[in-house]
Structure 1
Amino acid sequence: MPSAPSLPLRAECLGDASAYREAAALYARVFGYADPDFSLNPNLLSALARNGGSAVGVFTPDDELVGFAYGFAGRDADGCEFHYSQAAVVDPHHQGRGVGRLLKECQRRVALEWGHETMRWTFDALLSRNAHFNFSVLGAEGVAYVPDYYDRPGTDRIVVDWPLRRTTDPYAALRDAEPPALGRADWGRVVPGTLAAADGGTHAAAWLAVPADIAGVAGRQDEADAAADVLRGRVRTAMTALIEGGRVLVACRRIDAGTAAYLAVPRRATMPPREGVKAS
Structure 2
Amino acid sequence: MKYLFRILTTVACLLTAIYTHGESIDITINKPRSNSTYMLDLMKLALSYSDKHYNFLETSETLTRSAQVEALRNGELTVMWGGTSDQMEQDFTPVRIDGYRGLMSWRFFIIREGEQHRFDSIYSANDLKQFKFGQGKTWQDGNILQQAGFNVVRTVKKEGLFYMLDGDRFDAFPRGATEAWEEVAKYKQLPLTVENKLVLSYTLPTYFFVNKNHPQLAAAIEQGLERAIADGQFDDYFYNNDRVREFLKRAQLDKRRVIKITNPFLPKSTPLDREELWLDLSELAEGAKNYGL
Q: How high is the TM-score relative to the length of structure 2?
A: 0.26
**Which structure carries more helix by proportion?**
2
TM-score normalised by structure 1 residue count: 0.27
The answer to which structure, 1 or 2, has the higher relative contact order (CA under 8 A, 6+ apart) is 2
Report the structure, 1 or 2, having the larger strand content. 1
